[in-house]
Amino acid sequence: MKKYFIIAAAAIVAMAACTKVETVGTPDQKVTFQAANYTTQTKAGEVSVLSDFDAFKCRAFLHAEGIDLNADGTVKTTSYQEFFGSAGETISWNSTNKEWAPSHVYYWPKGTKSFVNFVGWYGTDGTNAVDPTVTYAYDGTASKWTASMTWTFSNTSVGEAGTNLLYADMAWHFKSNNNPATYGKDGVTEGVPMLFHHALAQINVKAYADGTSLSAGTGTVSDANATWAISLENVQINPIYTAGTLALTNADPGSKTTQAWTGSWTGTGTAGALTASDYLVDDITKANAGDLIAATCVLPQTLGATVKLTFDMRITTTYNTNPTNPNVELIPVEITLNDMGTSAWALNTKYTYYIKIIPSQNKVLFDPALEAEWIEVEGTEQTI
């Protein structure tokens, strides 16, 4: 079973702010990590908060005492070292040692002024790894070292099952693990904080039918007069961006902390459609609504008035008085997503839309009336 652990109560709460950690470096201490995502916590300690992966990638940038730092400990404008190498390292959960650790053993630098900055991410298109371009350079304008992360996503990846991109707040000026000892009931080492965010938005569209009774699993709802079989066909959300670039930056805050990235997605390429298989509606409560489009990652974007959810609703109505001759209708439905409560999809946000179908709401009624009283007309008398 995977283990994932809370980093610190303050770090979880500080979603938009920096996370301050005060520790002292320890020579010959192995570099380890903690992985978590921002979520509401009710207590400190071990919490399973991150189920997206059991390994992630990391780049690390060393500013070493006597080489990359001035005598007073301030950074030079010309040098740094790749702590893991330019290809970075894979950080995996080790259930035996109860720690997140690199694929090779690394030790913290011994210089009291030396420090390492860390960039962590995870990406997959459902089949293959999708990595960002990470750069690290001195910004003469800002007079500080700045990291950037650029993530370009292709047309074929967005919307496919398993697609997921996450990035961690950058960990600046770390000299040791948060706690050289252990903590928690399983004795888990507190390492470099990796607080992850989802880079994409997630879309869920659910549907359910409202009836007085249900034959479970048959796709029917009914009342005392009729039974309805309901299926939703040709489902799609269109148009949406199926390609784009996420450009993020993170500038040295000057002290030991984790710091959020700034930046946004830019949609590129031709806009396409998010499609789903036909869906048989057989749930009668919102709590049990079935997935029309289930947990699909998409590029963040402004929706506008043109982005619509469309489908064909096939309703087969069988009346109790005529059970062998059902009536069939195929009704086209078009819904503007702006009318369903949101005008944009933001990164690290999950959106769930509900479609409620009430097949019995339009009852057939009659209003009998006479045009006028009887009009008497006397016929011609016939003699036989």
Domain membership of residue 3 (yes or no) is no
- 14 with 111, same domain: the answer is yes
HSE-CB for 99 with a 13 A CA cutoff: 21
Same domain for 24 and 171, yes or no, is: yes
Does a structural domain hold residue 382? no
Structural domain span for residue 116: 9-200
86-142 per-position pLDDT tens digit: 999 999 888 777 788 899 999 999 999 999 999 999 988 777 888 999 999 999 888
State which of 184, 200, 216 marks the end of a domain: 200
Q: Do 196 and 281 fall within a single domain?
A: no
Instruction: State the Cα–Cα distance between residues 368 and 374, nearest whole angstrom.
Output: 16
Tens digit of each residue's pLDDT (9 = 90 or more) over 298-339 = 888 888 888 889 999 888 889 989 889 999 999 999 999 888
First-residue to last-residue Cα distance in the chain: 105
> Which of the residues in the chain have pLDDT under 50?
1-27, 38-49, 182-186
pLDDT of the residue at 56: 93
Q: What is the pLDDT of residue 138?
A: 96
Q: Are 171 and 261 in contact (CB under 8 A)?
A: no
Residue 250: per-residue pLDDT: 98
Q: What is the pLDDT of residue 338?
A: 86
Same domain, 229 and 130: no
Compute the distance between CA of residue 250 and CA of residue 364 in angstroms, rounded to an integer: 64
Facing residues of 247 across strands?
Answer: 150, 264
Q: Give pTM, 2 decimals.
A: 0.78
Residue 377 falls inside a structural domain:
no
